[in-house]
Amino acid sequence: MTIRFSMLFLIFADVSTILLSRNCGDCNFLEDIFNILEEELEPAGNCSYYIAEPSLIHYEVYTSKDPKKPSIYSGESSKINLDTSKETKFIVHGWAESGNQTWLKEMVQAYFNTNHDYNVIVVDWSTYSIQSYPKAVCYVPTVAEAIANFISHAQLQLEKVHVIGHSLGGQVAGYIGQNVQVLHRGKKLRRITGLDAAGPLFCFPFLVDVDERLSSDDAEFVDAIHTNGGVFGCFPDYGTVDFKPNCGTRQAGCPRNALESALASLKISAFNEIVFCSHHRSYIYYTESIYKDNCFLASKCKNCLKFSEKLCTNDMEVEMGEYCPSDVNGNYYLSTKSKLQFKIEYNTL
């Protein structure tokens, strides 16, 4: 992560958090402030020149036979040693990350500590994700195209494929879903989960068309978890169902003034933990939800203000995370604790 990029975003984050808390999520002032980032977020020329090479995208395939030692595949291989009758989970990391991230390994192991028997595939697209943010964004469509071809060549049953993407990986997931529909004559993946899908260049400074970002059209069911909306994550709804823990922008236990806290930090590791605290909570919540159902119960509510005033309808509670039912839609709110375990009772924000 570039410190320059992060610091510029923190300036924007402090302003946007104040405005969003005043129910001003669509204020024109936000767009004016975002102009500060124009140079940093300048699109990388003509994106058509940025074409991902499938052989440079790697797949770590975990099965219950050896859940700690994956088989590694690259490109669009059709010779994959897994049982296609089982549900297959694809996990896609975000910008400036790789398949070696600790959170990915923790999510994989969470799946194998349940009573379910899954195939779990970690997608490592770090050759492209480590580029500057605008360049990484340009690579998203062709990275996703390669992953969709991998799914097709492996002859996976689409009704048993679940793609989970965090941050820029969430936007990759949307494009995967779109490419699968092209390859399979309109047939969709069963589910896509967007974990605080990336906002910059997708949802602001302006909202791009639905075919250029993750949306509810990209799978039979799309669930979204917003934890840093309007900052590093996408603030507008993009799922069949959209969950907004702690109202979806700043998470409990994360610095209220991230800019001031980050400036006080002298260590890069601590800096990143502060800056991306809320953004990263999406995958932390999700991993926790895998271990136990009914872990995060959320209530359907019109907006954050009504949730804060305890005006939601408790009989409309649904589960956020891995075991979210596929027949729900709309916006759901919940509160969390500030530390593990994050589960908390309803409406104590």
Contact (Cβ atoms closer than 8 angstroms) between residue 213 and residue 171: yes
Residue 327 and residue 241 in contact, taking contact as beta carbons nearer than 8 Å: no
User: Residue 79's CB: how many other CB atoms inside 10 A?
Assistant: 7
- HEC assignment per residue over the chain: CCHHHHHHHHHHHHHHHHHHHCCCCCCHHHHHHHHHHCCCCCCCCCHHHCCCCHHHCEEEEECCCCCCCCEEEECCCCCCCCCCCCCEEEEECCCCCCCCCHHHHHHHHHHHCCCCCCEEEEEECHHHHCCCHHHHHHHHHHHHHHHHHHHHHCCCCHHHEEEEEECHHHHHHHHHHHHHHHHCCCCCEEEEEEECCECECCCECCCCCHHHCCCHHHEEEEEEECCCECCCECCCCCCCEEEEEHHHCCCCCCCCCHHHHHHHCCCHHHHHHHHCHHHHHHHHHHHHHHHCCCCCEEEECCCHHHHHCCCCCHHHCEECCCCCCCCCCEEEEECCCCCCCCCCCCCCC
Active site residue 167: yes
| Residue of 6, 16, 129, 167 marked catalytic | 167
User: Is residue 221 classed exposed, middle or buried when 0-12, 13-18 and 19+ CB atoms within 10 A define those classes?
Assistant: buried
Residue 269 annotated to the active site? no
201/43 Cα distance (integer angstroms)? 8
Amino acid residing at 22: R
**Catalytic residue check, 66:** no
Catalytic residue among 93, 126, 196, 218: 196
Pair 175, 145: CB distance under 8 Å: yes
Catalytic residue among 58, 93, 226, 279: 279
Q: Which residues are catalytic?
A: 167, 196, 279
